[in-house]
């Protein structure tokens, strides 16, 4: 759309790898030269890693375009297959046609014979493996065995692994250390720096036929660098949409608003940061909530400590010592003697009738002040004698934990019953040779209780009689492998694999052959 507007002969920022737009900056050019040298030497395995969208596929396309005539290439775009299937996939890429029921040894022999023929004709074969981080560990081990095909002087097959950083983690596992030790060259594609992004944008524009002044100013390049994290695929998407936004406004000047619109239209990030006021308000709200919770918890904890400490203070029940005797004035003795019976008689209506009205003296209202001292000990004693609810309720707190532990102790028994039933059915199934040679491996685990949970989930989607379980060794530990179904050919197995619900695809199920399963069980039993 915008090509004529900017004087372009072709689109400059397509994400499809086009070798005409290969940018040698950002250490891409030196890595390409080093890869070509390593392939020409034909020794060991080569590894290239980088983030998603860093340019691995473009680098692989450049290598295939620049290979000399005596080097033939094999390209595996999706190597996430089982060990039994990887050899068939490689044979098909080499235009070999092994029988579908050919054994692992037969396919390996066909590959060796073909590679020997190419070597005798003065040809060298190199295999490029894309997305190798998704390759199962057992399949990676099968790749290592392919590197053993050699003559007395050279390797028959050169292998180049392209993958994301997760490939590094897979290669650090102990069971794959033999493959790791055969890697002779390792390269990593780093994100482009801001000055490299500027050169990259200008290079691709010039390669597409642009002859005008620079379209991307330094502030625009800085905005693209911030939004793309230096990944070439993101740079291409942002630049393409920014040019389209400028074209829609009939301008040749790329502005920040065009970059913002391009980023908002993408899925990977957003250029515009949150507003400072929003950040401040959120921080204040979180602080207030945290302070309120802290105060509430402190008050509850203090009340709990006070209540828990009350029963441990019986000394409060001891009556207080009598107040010191104070001598009364001599003249007041008759009045005190008269006041005492008056105070006692105030509690009885009968005495009020017998007492003359003139006997009530002005000092009588002061008499009720005397009872408070003897009233305190009964109140404290009643409080001490009363049991605290918190103390009584805390005694049976261990009962739920004991009952839960007892319930959990029954899980292994049920798990063993379920697993043994499926293992017995698997033994009978495997004994039927010559029928339905394909199945689907759903998962593997070394935890029987966990497997019980998996079986409960699996039975919701498929018939439990179609589930088979057998023992094997995985990661140097005893393991249980779960298979689903029995299929007459590879196509029907693949169709069933594609129709599995998403919850059963969590552990990346793969196709398995019954011949491979029997060999695996035999190897486990002999070890």
As a whole number, mean pLDDT of residues 458-480 equals 84
Nearest to 385 by CA among 320, 318, 311: 311
Write down the residue that tokens 């199945």 correspond to.
439
Task: Give the end of a domain, one of 165, 189, 213.
Answer: 189
Please, what is the end-to-end C-alpha distance for the chain in angstroms? 66
Assess if residue 143 is contained within a domain: yes
pLDDT above 60 (res 401): no
**Taking every pair of C-alpha atoms in the chain, what is the biggest distance, in angstroms?**
144
At 438 the pLDDT is 85
Closest CA to 232 of 403, 2, 400, 18: 18
**CATH assignment of the domain containing 440:** 3.30.70.1070
Among 157, 145, 75, 70, which residue's Cα sits nearest to residue 116?
Answer: 157
Average pLDDT in the chain: 76
pLDDT at residue 230, as a whole number: 93
Q: Does 21 map to a domain?
A: no
**pLDDT tens by residue, 358-394:** 333 344 444 444 444 444 444 433 334 444 444 333 3
Q: CA 243, CA 249: separation in Å to the nearest integer?
A: 10
Domain residue limits at 95: 27-189
Asked whether residue 445 is domain-assigned, the answer is: yes
pLDDT digits (tens, 9 = 90+) for 100-147: 888 888 888 899 999 999 999 989 999 999 988 888 888 888 888 888
- Quick one: pLDDT band at residue 402, thresholds 50, 70, 90? very low
Question: Considering the domain boundaries, does residue 394 fall inside one?
Answer: no
Predicted confidence band of residue 13 (pLDDT cuts 50, 70, 90): very high
Q: What is the mean pLDDT of residues 509-526?
A: 82
Residue with tokens 């980023």: 263
Q: Most confidently modeled of 33-47, 199-213, 371-385?
A: 199-213
Predicted local confidence at residue 303, as pLDDT: 63
Which one of 229-233, 447-451, 461-465 scores highest in mean pLDDT? 229-233
Question: Which of these, 366, 483, 507, lies nearest to 426 by C-alpha position?
Answer: 483
Beta-carbon count within 10 A of 21 CB: 20
Other Cβ atoms within 10 Å of 184 Cβ, number:
12
Question: Where is average pLDDT lowest: 155-169, 456-470, 502-516?
Answer: 502-516
Domain end among 159, 174, 189: 189
The pTM for the full model equals 0.51
Assigned domain for 79 exists: yes
| Domain end call among 137, 166, 189 | 189
For residue 51, what is the domain's CATH number?
Answer: 3.40.50.300
Between 357 and 93, name the one with better pLDDT. 93
471 or 287, higher pLDDT: 471
C-alpha 314/C-alpha 234 separation (Å) is 76
**Lowest-confidence pick of 144-148, 327-331, 428-432:** 327-331
The residue-averaged pLDDT of 421-439 equals 84
In a domain, 253, yes or no: no
Find the mean pLDDT for residues 22-46. Answer: 90
Task: Tell me how many domains the chain contains.
Answer: 2
Q: Which of 73, 91, 40 is nearest to 162 (CA)?
A: 73
State residue 521's pLDDT score.
86
As separate numbers, helices (DSSP H) first and strands (DSSP E) second, the chain gives: 21, 9
User: What's the pLDDT at 278?
Assistant: 54
Does residue 37 belong to any structural domain of this protein?
Answer: yes
> Which run of H or E residues covers position 376?
helix 372-385
Does a structural domain hold residue 85?
yes
Higher pLDDT, 61 or 413: 61
């Amino acid at each position: 759309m915008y090509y004529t507007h900017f004087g372009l002969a072709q689109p400059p920022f397509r994400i499809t790898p086009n070798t005409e737009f290969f940018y040698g900056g950002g250490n891409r050019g030196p890595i390409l030269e080093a890869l070509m040298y390593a392939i020409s030497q034909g020794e060991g395995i080569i590894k290239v890693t980088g983030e998603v969208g860093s340019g691995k596929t473009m680098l692989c396309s450049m290598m295939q375009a620049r290979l000399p005539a005596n080097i033939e290439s094999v390209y595996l775009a999706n190597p996430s297959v089982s060990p039994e299937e990887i050899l068939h996939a490689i044979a098909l890429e080499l235009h070999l046609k092994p029988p579908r029921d050919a054994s692992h040894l037969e396919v390996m022999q066909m590959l060796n014979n073909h590679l020997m023929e190419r070597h005798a004709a003065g040809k060298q074969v190199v295999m490029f493996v894309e997305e190798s981080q998704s390759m199962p560990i057992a399949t990676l081990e099968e790749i290592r065995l392919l590197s053993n095909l050699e003559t007395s002087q050279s390797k028959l097959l050169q292998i180049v692994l392209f993958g994301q950083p997760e490939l590094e983690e897979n290669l650090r596992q102990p069971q794959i250390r033999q493959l790791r030790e055969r890697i002779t060259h390792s390269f990593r594609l780093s994100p482009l720096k801001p000055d490299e992004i500027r050169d990259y944008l200008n290079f691709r524009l010039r390669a597409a036929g642009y002859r005008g002044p620079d379209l991307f100013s330094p502030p625009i390049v800085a905005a693209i660098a911030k939004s793309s994290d230096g990944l070439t695929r993101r740079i291409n998407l942002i630049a393409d949409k920014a040019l389209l936004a400028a074209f829609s406004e009939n301008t040749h000047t790329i502005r920040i608003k065009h970059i913002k619109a391009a980023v908002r239209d993408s899925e990977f990030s957003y250029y515009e940061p949150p507003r400072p006021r929003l950040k401040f308000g959120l921080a204040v709200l979180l602080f207030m909530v945290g302070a309120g919770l802290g105060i509430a918890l402190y008050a509850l904890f203090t009340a709990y400590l006070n209540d828990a400490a009350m029963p441990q203070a019986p000394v409060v029940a001891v009556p207080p010592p009598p107040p010191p005797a104070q001598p009364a004035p001599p003249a007041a003795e008759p009045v005190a003697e008269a006041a005492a019976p008056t105070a006692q008689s105030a509690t009885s209506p009968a005495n009020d009738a017998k007492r003359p009205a003139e006997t009530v003296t002005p000092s009588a209202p002061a008499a009720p002040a005397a009872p408070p001292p003897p009233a305190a000990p009964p109140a404290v004693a009643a409080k001490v004698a009363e049991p605290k609810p918190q103390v009584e309720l805390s005694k049976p707190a261990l009962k739920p934990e004991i009952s839960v532990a007892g319930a959990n102790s029954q899980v292994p028994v049920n798990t063993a019953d379920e697993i043994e039933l499926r293992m017995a059915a698997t033994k009978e199934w495997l004994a039927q040779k010559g029928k339905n040679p394909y199945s689907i491996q759903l998962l593997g685990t070394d935890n029987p209780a966990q497997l019980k949970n998996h079986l409960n989930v699996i039975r919701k989607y498929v018939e439990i009689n179609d589930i088979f379980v057998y023992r094997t060794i995985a990661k140097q530990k005893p393991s249980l492998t779960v298979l689903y179904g029995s299929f007459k050919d590879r196509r029907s197995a693949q169709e069933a694999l594609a129709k599995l619900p998403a919850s059963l695809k969590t552990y990346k199920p793969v196709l398995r052959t019954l011949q491979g399963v029997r060999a695996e069980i035999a190897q486990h039993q002999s070890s």
